Structure 1
Amino acid sequence: MKLAGKQEKQQQKPNSSLNLGNPRLIAAEVSLTKRFLFYFFVLLLGISAAYGCFYTAFPIPVFWWVVIPCTVLFSAGFTVLFLKKRGGRRGIWLPILFIACLGSLFFLKDGLPGAWRNPLCQGLIRTVNYVIAAYAQKANYNFITWPAEPAGLREITISCTVFAVFVLLLTTFLMAWLLIHRKNSFFCFLLTTPFLAVSLVFAIIPHYAAVTALLTFWAFLLLNASSLRSKKGFVKRGNLFYEGRNSAVHPASLILLPILADCLMLVGVLFPMQSFQRSEVVEDLRSGLLSRPNMTTLFRSGGVAGNVNRVNLQFAGDIAYTGRTVLQVQSSQKDTDYLKGFAGSVYTGQSWEALGEEDYRELNALLNEQKVQNFPSLFTNFLRSNLDRDLYVYDLVVRNVGGNPRSIYTPYGLISGPDTLPGLDFVNDGYLRSGNYLFGTPQYSMQAISLPADYQNTSFYTRVVGNFLRYAWIGGGGLGDLGLDRNFQRDFDSSSRQLDEWRMPERLAGLLSPEQAAFAQAAQAYTSFVYAHYTQLPEELRGKLDQYRREHGLDTEHFPWPRSLARAIIDQVHSENTYTLSPGLLPGGRDFVEYFLLENHRGYCMHFASATVALLRSAGVPARYAEGYTLSSHDLAGPDGWVDIPDSRAHAWAEIYLSGVGWVPVEATPGVYNGVVDHQTGAVAPAQEAANVPQEEFSGEAPEEEVSGESSELQIPNEIEGGERGPGGPQSMVISTQLRVIFFLAVIALPLPALLINRKLRVASRRKRFRQEDHNQGALAVYDYMLQLLPHPKSDLSFSAEIPENLYELVLKARFSRQMLTEQELDQLLDYAGALADQVRRKASLFRRFVFAYIYVLF
């Protein structure tokens, strides 16, 4: 700032012949280049941070090699546009007109009827669907999504990139207009807030670095709001004048950005999220709020593998995989394992629901606190037979890193009960669910027993009469010696239904221990419950399925055992239907199974499992729909012992009830081998290869292609969609404290070279101005520098100084005389300026010396 002061001293000099005008304040103009650099970097930071928060929170596929250069190009272009001198408002409306024409060109290039098929419109639809899918997974509700054209992964990425670039163009224009033209920091804040709020509303956390960058941008706007907003050259506060227009618009002001980032990083390091603990009052308030029932009537849940309430089959549209890790597992299991997260009991034609509350009250009265989820292990404990000789106990630890946090995935041979699984709810007779309604359970461990294949024909009768008494009854007598009626000695060739109807006589029950007798009573009562409730079907569908079974000879007369009938039904369904990731949506009002079996003939695991369960039920075999994740015996643990389970292992299957075992899984999907399938070619693939298939291989581009595999847990109608980002995809990421410390130290180190370079450049520029060819201009530059060095009357510097009279005369000569100062006269000014700078350096405190040297660059 040039201050044309001390005019009064000139008027007091009798020999002066100069006629001076009124004193005035002259603000030093910041060059166009410096203003460009300032606004460009601020604009680039704001746009990059906002986009980073959005695209690291949601798994939206875009070509970053396109988006990143466009961000730099748009930021530079609009900065130049609004820094140029414009006549009228034409310069503002031209880019608005250009953006509007560009958007209209994309929307209407295929004509108005086909506008929704163009990449921009499809990108909008798919982006919204990705966001909705992430919401649905996080909250375990399924929101209504927009229908989109089926496409491969490349087409989806192209359309999402087109939409991202178009929104980037519009957002950058608005930000530049608000920041440079309107100088309104508050509206810049409002413009970037939705990019973060859209994920935080469902507790989806973007990448830590993106959030830090956005908070740094907001803090910078707040600290410079007054200077950026002022359109006057000077603002008077009391008796002092402050430059308001250009004081902050300087590249040197950008030094605040790394300082602000350092402060945020320091807070994260000193107070990590892991160390946060709520007070008792807050925890009680939270528990009270979360004790309200789920609003299942407002939203509808859809499969697969991320549900805790119901599965809406109307949303079983086209799907794809992202390849992201959903679960991390440590297991000593030696064979393929099915981890169940949901079981559907009631089939309505469009969904799988739970039984009614009245049915569950009846069930709880029958079980007498026994848990159906533990039946396989309880049978081996209380009614052990020779079928249990090959069983072994294994440990299982599950870490949920990308799935529904409330879903709990458990094996079928679960040993651990409610007393050993605190915080987990046993949901009636179906599955487990986290008791934490908001945050879920990120990690849990349990024990289970293996279930061998020869369990397939095990009934309660064969376990008790055929095996248990033979090994446990001491006395060497036969069944007749127990006083049993010969009618109870069933032929082993009888149907499973006949065996399941057998009830243990009281005298036989008297040979059991109280614990054994209580469990045997609960098991028999539950078998009756199962036949009464898990053979239910809509009457109209039952008639069509009965006809279907008769046409193909699928009945209990030909296949008396549940396993054999299930195998025959599955083989028949495989022979008539094709596995595809693009089956399309269920037409409105149609029955899901009927449409798949008798008309569409195209589907994935949800279709095959639902059809198998329905056909088994129509034959009188108790069956349920189940979904979760599969583990393969070929899964190889990493160095830390954890196995990464990708979203491609999300699966749906059938389960049947064996009265001597409990519920057991039945694979209903074609081409499954060892729990793993190749989703692209349909060929059976080893587990370790399928787990490492690149993302491009999960495109599902051919709607009619026969493949074998399972769906991602996020489903988007009429569209291939992926799952929520974790912390990696555009997913929520957890950065360890060590990485934060390293990042914090790196950010601290960044300002140091910037300060040194800035100081060197500004000192060199000042010396060049002092020694320019026009000595008068050089003298005025030295005078301006001396005014900056003079201490303010209210400052804490312990000295006072004033420009000597003889030097002040030289300044007046340089300002008003036509004669140029000599080299010696200019040197006098420079010598005094240097001495004044040395005096300021000596008198200033250490902190002030640093600020004067590296922030203001006074010496």
Structure 2
Amino acid sequence: MKRKNIQNTNGINISDSIVMSVKQKHPSMRKFYAAAITIIGMLSVIMSFLGMFHFRYNKSTVIAAFFCFAAFHILIALKGGKALGAYLLSVLGFLFFAYRKSKKIVLGFKFVYNIIYKEAFDSKLNYYKALKKTLEVTSVTTLFVFYIWLLAIVLCYFTICRPNPVLPLMVTFPILEIGLYNGIKMPVFWGIMCISYWLAILAMSTIDVGEYSGGQSGFVRKNNLFFPKRHMKLKVTERCGMFVIASVMIVAVLANCYLNITHYKRSDSINEKRRDITDAVENFSFHNLGESIANLTNAFGFNLDYENHKLGTSDHVRYKNVTDLTVTIEKPISGALYLKNEIRALYHDNEWFELPSSKYKDKMFDDFKEYGISPQNFPAIFGQYIKRKDDKNTIWIKNSPRKKRRVYSPYGVEDFGKIKYENDTLIFPETEKKSETSYKFVPTNPDNIEVLLGEGMDVFFSKGKNGEFTLNAANNAISSPNRTVFSASGITDTKWKDNVIKYCKDNDLFDYEDYFNIDYELPADTSYLYEHGNIIMAELLESSYKKFVYENYLDVPQNKDMEEVREAYSDLVDVEHDNTPEEIFEILNNIRVKMAATSTYTLEPGVTPASRDFVKTFLLETHKGYCTHYASSGVILARMAGIPARYATGYILVENDIKGGKVNNDNSITIDVKDNRSHAWAEVYIDGVGWIPYEFTAGYSQQDVPPEPTKPTESTTTQSGSTTTTTNTSLSSTTKNTALTSSYTTTTATDTDVTATTVVKGGKGGKGIHIPGFLKDIFAIVLFIAAIVMLIRIRRSFILNMREKHFKNGDTRTRIRYMYSYAEKLLAELNLRSEYGNYKQFAADVEKWHGDIYFEKGGFEKVTDIALGAAFNNETPSEDDIKKCEKILTDLADSIYQKADKYQKFRLMYFKVLVKGE
């Protein structure tokens, strides 16, 4: 240890060096331990990675490469000294041959990634296409050999010569994370060995493991001996590294034996909480930070309501069977009841977005406000007109504490004067009770709409041989296949008559006298229309809104992924149609049937890679997903077919839910809506009706939802021990009703509730260990911090070296200029700055306040005089002057540092870089 003597003013010499000598009784095992730790690290990483996937490569070549590279670099590292020069040759050789074989290495990477991609996503498609199978073995073997070479260079040097965990982690963890991120199980033994290696090298690199407590300087007295107070840096040796590895393995073995011997089982409540925490931790990702934090806080019992529209970020969904909403309806309804709380229209980068606010600045939306009719009211208004019976209902929705910040509403809501509208998407009550809302509505779902448009129209129209509609009853309106003509003077509802006349005048809709057109073939019995002018007003507004719909809800991303989807579904989407309800439902049903026949409904579809398109991956590659996959894909395919559609989320109540509800004394029905009824679906626009929900998800119907993942549609089959029912629906023979009543599920009598199952990431057989996904983020943070620290230290070293160079080299006039500039920066830390170039006055002030405290009296005035003489009088300072100035500045810097607190010292050393420190 270098000895440092300090001469105090009292004449006492103090030495801070402590020399200890211990007789060595046993031969040193450090080199053996270091070599063993290195081999454990290399072998565990390689075997962990190869154990997760099944590659085709030359095993004998890879094994030979491992032993050769490991032996060579371990011997060099153990030898040390001048032998380390061979390391440089190895690095240069690696770079040279890697460049020479770069094409084969890249090709090997493509083959390897294809295997990883297919196994991780259970896909039969290759990520990289058009690769020659004959080149796979040689190229993959080449890639593995070069990786082993790199592994040997890094691990041997940073385990044996300079123990440091940063670079070993950088070359080992990403390789394993490829499998862990995609849910592939790691071999248990090698996974534990790999973790123990990381912990061992972390221990070996540890310093500053202890220090004397107390102030900043001085001595600690022990009996009659005095010891200087300073940090004691104790090196953790290779023996400790081996101890860490042995400890990890022993703990793992003992824990496994104890659990097997005692048959320990956790209680159901502990298991449930453990699953919640495990799921939240495994899926924690900074890429999806908001949802990750919400899931983690919810797992620990702190509810944080958060909804994310980034698709494919979670590899599974697991329900807790908790009540999210309590819904009471005035009377039973047929079909499904959808309660929406989010509407999204734009799809890109695997996420749904709202339309930009600029889209809603159209005058049409001012008309909606002025006349008190919004697009959200269309289904209720038109439904009441055509069906002509009292189908109105009332719903009360009470949110649980988990959902207290959300507002949910059904379709077909009537405006009774206490509702506010969010553009053309959602509705909210103006006076909302705490977490409780109520609405009057007309049940609106595809089943009701088809009856409405089918049977309802037939009551008033008959179709002639020439294809034109003939009126069944004559009245004040004249109808044609494309429009109905009304007379404004015939409207008996005074309020709406004035509104209709004003709207027609403002928009120049009168053809002659007071007649105007509506672009739909309305029933001939118009007496009801003239008595209820709000329907005519709604028809006029809907005719205007329809243009907005077709301009904004048909967008599909223009990229290669969407082109491939369109090509695969061209037989269904590239069809001409006249936007009649019958044609629309036929196209939608064909899309639904094909998706159900080619995909599997599952709550464990896996994560969609960030580089892959969510819709394409589901439709053409994995064929596995749940409601968000089906709804998103259905919206895109509907748009490709020219049908306006958008993405909706909320909750669904099917007939079985309503039938199972509690019947109250007033015959109303109360239903506890569980979290497993949270849902995503498509909204489609039907001309003359408005936005209605449409179900694309396989297994969902108006009556029930799938309790278990379903399989692609097959012919009717029976299995022992269960009852299986499926319906094989032809894509070409579809009708209106089959879109709503066909079953695409495979339901067994032994199905269990999904909320009682434990979700485990899929792997490729065999036992394995799954390291929580949050580890990748922890190591990413560690690496990021290490990189920042390294940059800060490099910057500090560079600035100090440049300052030293400026003080020592060059002519003395230039050197004193740098010194004075440095002095100004130091004095700025004492809140002293020169103003208006009055250097002499500034020097006097510095001497007044800090002379003989931070430096010797008159020192800064001397520095100022020398600097001014050099700058303005062409004087050349002598070397003695430079040395004196440097001494004054050193004293000033040291004094500022010593009088600073810990935070200020850190700032002065690493951010300001004004002092060298201790």
TM-score normalised per structure 1: 0.41
TM-score normalised per structure 2: 0.39
